[in-house]
Amino acid sequence: MKPAAPDPAGRRSFCCMACAALALALLPTSLPAQAPPADPDPRRVTADTRASLKAGTVKDYRKAGGFYLVADGAGIYALTAICTHNGCKVVAEAGQGFGCPCHDSEYDLQGNVVQGPARLPLRHFEVTEQGPGGPLVVDLGKAVDAHVRF
């Protein structure tokens, strides 16, 4: 009887599995969270002016910075379009507030949570203008209290 021929494919496979197991064992159990790189210029110049925004207006800037500009009876404010639950973009709902298409969180027009699963309100950002009567500028790097109006 002839001795069994060595099985190079089986040996190679065993070595690959052993190396993979060793690599997995050497991986840290939790990778350090990396903050996104800071935006070198978080200011966004909008196409709107104070005069162009009448009370009750909600302007969508999701594609130009990920925020909404809103005017109410007290002034103008900007708030993030990023849902505080898991980061989806919220959608304005006909002047009633904002809804998240991912898990159905609802926010009122000021960004307060009306329905979860989100638990935190939408962040507000500083609004200024680029010169008197000029375009409104939203600074995504400067969070402000939800009651601040421009």
CB of residue 80 vs ligand FES: minimum separation in angstroms?
A: 12
Q: Encoding tokens for residue 87?
A: 């980061």
Which residue number, 67 or 150, has a Cβ lying nearer to ligand FES? 67
Residues 86-145, interacting with ligand FES (CB under 6 A): 86-88, 100, 102-103, 105, 117-118
Label the pairing between strands 106-107 and 113-115. antiparallel
Residues in the interface with ligand FES (CB under 6 A) total 11
CB of residue 85 vs ligand FES: minimum separation in angstroms?
A: 3
- 83 interacts with ligand FES by CB under 6 A: yes
148 CB-side CA count, 13 A: 14
CB 146 within 8 A of CB 124: yes
Which region, judged by CB under 6 A, interacts with ligand FES, from 36-44, 71-79, 81-89, 133-141?
A: 81-89
For 35, 73, 74, 135, the CA distances from 47, given in Å and listed in that order, are 30, 21, 21, 6
Which residue number, 45 or 102, has a Cβ lying nearer to ligand FES? 102
CB 122 within 8 A of CB 80: yes
Q: What is the DSSP letter of 63?
A: G
Residues 5-64, interacting with ligand FES (CB under 6 A): none
CB of residue 39 vs ligand FES: minimum separation in angstroms?
A: 22
Closest CA to 148 of 74, 95, 81: 74
Residues within the interface to ligand FES (CB under 6 A): 83, 85-88, 100, 102-103, 105, 117-118
